[in-house]
Amino acid sequence: MTLRTGHVGLNVTDLDRSLAFYRDVLGFGVLGEGKDDDGQRRYAFLGPLSGDGRPVLTLWQQARGTYDGGLPGLHHLALEAESVERVREYETALRAYGAPFAHDGVVAHGEGSASGGIFFHDPDGTRLEIFAASGAEDAPAPNAPAPTCGFF
């Protein structure tokens, strides 16, 4: 039996704010929304609007505070784009939104690597990456001896 990632669930502090980010800036479709019996905890299933209807992300409004990369748990969420040009389009949209970035522009995953992307944070501070498998050959690698996605 081989396992594969089904979807990723993220705890968020404000579902409406997170929906605006993941839907309006990153382009995910809202596949469904709901809440628990008392109506205090809400959730949303996100994914492509075309295709099999399976969620890629689930957002769970049940967190307090901000993301803490120093605690055990999710290190970062990496999303793959079809090209480095598409990564740059996402970078433009994210900068217009005001998302905080870890590096300036597209960076390589490692020294001399063809793959690379952008590294940024969502409204709750969760670390995110959008990358392309090729096209970053001439981009700098911020951490030459270690993978770029490891320390941001």
Q: What single string gives the DSSP state of each residue in 78-110?
A: EEE-S-HHHHHHHHHHHHHHT--BSSSS-EESS
Q: Is the pLDDT of residue 118 over 80?
A: yes
**Residue 148's pLDDT band (cuts 50, 70, 90):** confident
Asked if residues 47 and 40 have their Cβ atoms less than 8 Å apart, the reply is no
Q: pTM of the full predicted structure?
A: 0.92
pLDDT-derived band at 1 (thresholds 50, 70, 90) equals confident
pLDDT number for residue 37: 86
For the cut 90, the answer to whether the pLDDT of residue 111 exceeds it is no
Which of the four pLDDT bands, split at 50, 70 and 90, describes residue 88? very high
Residue 91 has pLDDT above 90, yes or no: yes
- The confidence score (pLDDT) of residue 66 equals 87
Displacement of CA 71 from its chain's centroid (Å): 18
| pLDDT tens track for 10-28 | 999 999 999 999 999 999 9
Please give the distance of CA 81 from its chain centroid, rounded to a whole number. Answer: 11
